[in-house]
Amino acid sequence: MPTRITETPTRLSTPEALRRWSLRCHAAGMSVGLVPTMGALHAGHRSLIERARADCDRVVVSIFVNPAQFGPSEDFDRYPRTLEADLAVLVASGVHAVYLPSVAAMYPPEARTRVHVDGPIAEVLEAVSRPGHLDGVALVVTKLFTATRPDRAYFGRKDAQQCAVVQRLAADLDTGVTVVVCPTVRDPDGLALSSRNAYLSPQERARALAIPAGLAEAASLFDAGERAGTRLLDAVKRHLESVDARIDYVALVDPDTFVEVDFPSPGCEILVAARIGNTRLIDAMQLGFDEAPVVGGASGNECSGSF
């Protein structure tokens, strides 16, 4: 069992400081876990931190709202920033360091390097709906991996395409980092936790439950033996259409390549991106592996119910 500490985590604000901190940990024979986040921490983030605390001797959480992964008309400026509350979460979680770089520290004006993962993984679905988003993710994760050189890094399955991009680049760039993909944490009524849920009005939040409801129906059809992809996709779309959600995509893909599949087998991902009002939400479920969302339980902001 890792030792529980209640001290304030070491604050690091430059790549050099992060690198030195991590080198000291490794020199002392300790393993290092990295949990990259954009802050506004919720129980989904906490589940990654808990897993990292259980696996690693030292854990660093990064909080950086990464401008490179937002399009010009997206929500970078209004993305929730709740640093004081986040620090309280990190103290309570017993993490050892928090990395809080400025935009200038991460992207000095002379920086010119881009990172692009080739092929469908970073060229379909999210890449089409949010041009440049996955390249921005690939860049920031590469920089975090390079500075930290963690033994393990923790990501949430809700962002399934992001996980696939990170796994690909971690292998292709010989980082030696083990990418650990953690289950999606949901509110008791099934909605996947997301910092962007804060944008939803109570009415919109109720409509957003169509997303886990659609996934739950697709999962039960799959479990009952349905293998026609269009039937699973139609089930999800019907739920979304019933609440006037604007669908970006509903898709069934191979989890490693992100090539679309017509007849899914266990392990295939079913992915949803939809707008409820002005808020864009994504969710995902791995057929035959993830437990389907339990929809219609007690609603509210209580954060529990990990799958």
Q: Decide whether 23 or 83 has the Cβ nearer to ligand AMP.
A: 83
Cβ-based nearer residue to ligand AMP, 55 or 241: 55
Residue 142 binds ligand AMP (CB under 6 A): no
Report how far residue 10's alpha carbon sits from residue 98's, in angstroms, rounded to the nearest whole number: 6
Q: Is 193 in the site for ligand AMP (CB under 6 A)?
A: yes
Q: How far apart are CA 307 and CA 293, in angstroms?
A: 8
- Exactly one of 33, 44, 190, 214 binds ligand AMP (CB under 6 A); that residue is 44
Nearest CB to ligand AMP, comparing residues 21 and 155: 155
Distance, CA of 288 to CA of 169 (rounded, Å): 26
CB of 48 or CB of 251, closer to ligand AMP: 48
Footprint (CB under 6 A) of ligand AMP, residues 22-41 = 37-38
- The answer to whether the beta carbons of residues 162 and 155 sit under 8 Å apart is yes
Question: Among 137, 116, 164, 123, which residue's Cα sits nearest to residue 68?
Answer: 137
Picking from 180, 185, 195, the residue whose alpha carbon sits closest to that of residue 158 is 185
CB 36 within 8 A of CB 98: no
Hunting for tokens 């109720």 — which residue is that? 206
Is residue 195 close enough to count as binding ligand AMP by CB under 6 A? yes
The stretch near ligand AMP (CB under 6 A) out of 50-58, 125-133, 155-163, 284-292 is: 155-163
CA–CA separation, 80 and 143 (whole Å): 23
The residue type at 239: H
Q: Is residue 152 at the binding interface for ligand AMP, with CB under 6 A as the rule?
A: no
45 is a catalytic site residue: yes
Applying CB under 6 A, among 79, 99, 145, 155 the residue interacting with ligand AMP is 155
Interface residue list for ligand AMP (CB under 6 A): 37-38, 44-45, 47-48, 155-156, 158-159, 182, 184-185, 192-195
Catalytic (active-site) positions: 45
